[in-house]
Amino acid sequence: MARTRIWMAVIPAVALLLTACQTGTPPAEPGDAASTRPPFQTTTPGAVAPSGTPTDVPEARWAAIEADLAARDVAGTPVLVSAEAVTFTDGSLGCAKPGMSYTQALVDGMRVVVDVDGTTYDYRFGGGDEPHLCER
């Protein structure tokens, strides 16, 4: 008799749990017209305004930018648009690429934006003098 009471309490509880987990409609596929969720974006659309503390660019970093531009066959003289000290939230230096993983630590660095003949180049530096071009 005690077993019957236990089963009579367990069976409805299990049935309730199983029906509570069931959904009425399958989730919408990405790009489906019925989806209300906006598409995932990994970059900020449009121009990014400076957000850190304005600063001077050390000579070693400026030379590294000039060398990187030359390696990319960019002819012309770079003109400084902005330079700022920034604390980045991870190892991507504020310029994450889809599918990549980065260290999750605060990184003190610098963001330097230069212009060469009307084309803007957004460089990021971590703790060293190696430039990372942020291509969006």
Block means of pLDDT (10 residues each) for the chain, length 136 residues? 68 69 58 60 50 75 95 93 93 92 93 94 95 89
- Alpha carbons 130 and 107: distance in angstroms, whole number: 14
Total number of residues shown for the chain: 136
- Per-residue confidence (pLDDT) for residue 93, from 0 to 100: 94
Would you say 76 and 117 are in contact if contact means Cβ atoms under 8 Å apart? yes
**pTM for this entry:** 0.61
Q: How far, in Å, CA of 36 to CA of 32, rounded?
A: 9
